[in-house]
Structure 1
């Protein structure tokens, strides 16, 4: 499948040049790039506080430690790493259940690691999970509303050691793993519901 950034750029250029062909070009984009996944977004808690107190090299070492825990867990639960950006990890899974299983596993693993690390090196994750159609670019980037929501949950709204699911992800969690409670958010004029484990 030819789903490179270069190919997307060409199609977007054509879309801009020929607005009368917008519908046809959009269909080509969906056919080449559209995939359905559970989306996992992980952010480390405490970047500003830790960096201010201990310095950037200390935090970079923590990011490296976090990746040695997170990436094997993603792969062992059927996920695929898409990209890394500073202390953020982005991955996709075939099902929401696998993404949730990975998240619970990461909570256990980081909890275990933290028992042997000094407090200033403890790893705490904030996790957001979405589910739906996204545009996948060469397996290294993705775009879509469920990706945006998962990123908002993981990077901005989840508290330390918290897992948040979009409404679409929760509806596709089957069977339900544990008990979940509904949480309402209002961000940048957007109101939406998420779910977190009780």
Structure 2
């Protein structure tokens, strides 16, 4: 099964690369090629980026073994929650996850569950062993390349919110997530630091 997945991802990447190379040729009809790329790879997803607060400082202070322990524990606690909410973990790089969900509701539910699970996990932990999670969510049309990566404005904005803006325990969302979350019963409050790529950004109150 893993072998088949690698073939499919490679085929998608090859197709995209060929279209991009065609786009670079003199006189290329870029609008037509762009439409072909979106037809092939354009999908609507809820994008989640996670980051661990203070992680780099922890590595510097406590060393690489502490780094590996924290990564292992965060995956052990959080990946089952992602799977329970039908999320797809596309990437795990260092202390960050890139996850996609088919709809906003499941993305928000997963994020809240992750934060609440870590609140329980951290109760009996010494400060350096606590897992402090930051989450950013975006929603919209993206280019999904096999099961390896996604690209788009909402991807970039979710990354900015999760990795740069959010504090420990926060879930921050883009305007499009907010617009599509009005039937979830959740409450939100606007934040002042709105990154490029979205008209507004909000904190989830949970």
| Count, aligned residues | 197
* Aligned match of 1:32: 40
Q: For 1:76 and 1:150, locate their aligned partners in 2 and report how far apart those are by CA, in whole Å.
A: 21
Equivalent residue in structure 2 for 1:104, among 88, 99, 112: 112
Secondary structure of 1:116's aligned partner: coil
* Aligned match of 1:193: 200
Q: What are the ranges of 5 or more consecutive residues in structure 2 without an aligned counterpart?
A: 1-7
Equivalent residue in structure 2 for 1:11, among 19, 25, 36: 19
Secondary structure of 1:17's aligned partner: coil
The normalised TM-score by structure 2 is 0.89
The normalised TM-score by structure 1 is 0.92
Pairing 1:59–2:67 present: yes
The answer (yes or no) to whether the contact 1:184–1:191 under 8 Å persists in 2 is: no
Secondary structure of 2:184's aligned partner: coil
Q: What are the ranges of 5 or more consecutive residues in structure 1 without an aligned counterpart?
A: none
Give 1:1-198 correspondences, 5 Å limit: 4-185=12-193, 192-198=199-205
Distance 1:105 1:186, change over 3 A: closer
Q: For 1:191 and 1:111, locate their aligned partners in 2 and report how far apart those are by CA, in whole Å.
A: 29
Moved over 3 A (4+): 189-192
RMSD: 1.9
Q: For 1:183 and 1:36, locate their aligned partners in 2 and report how far apart those are by CA, in whole Å.
A: 25
Q: For 1:121 and 1:23, locate their aligned partners in 2 and report how far apart those are by CA, in whole Å.
A: 51
Secondary structure of 2:67's aligned partner: helix
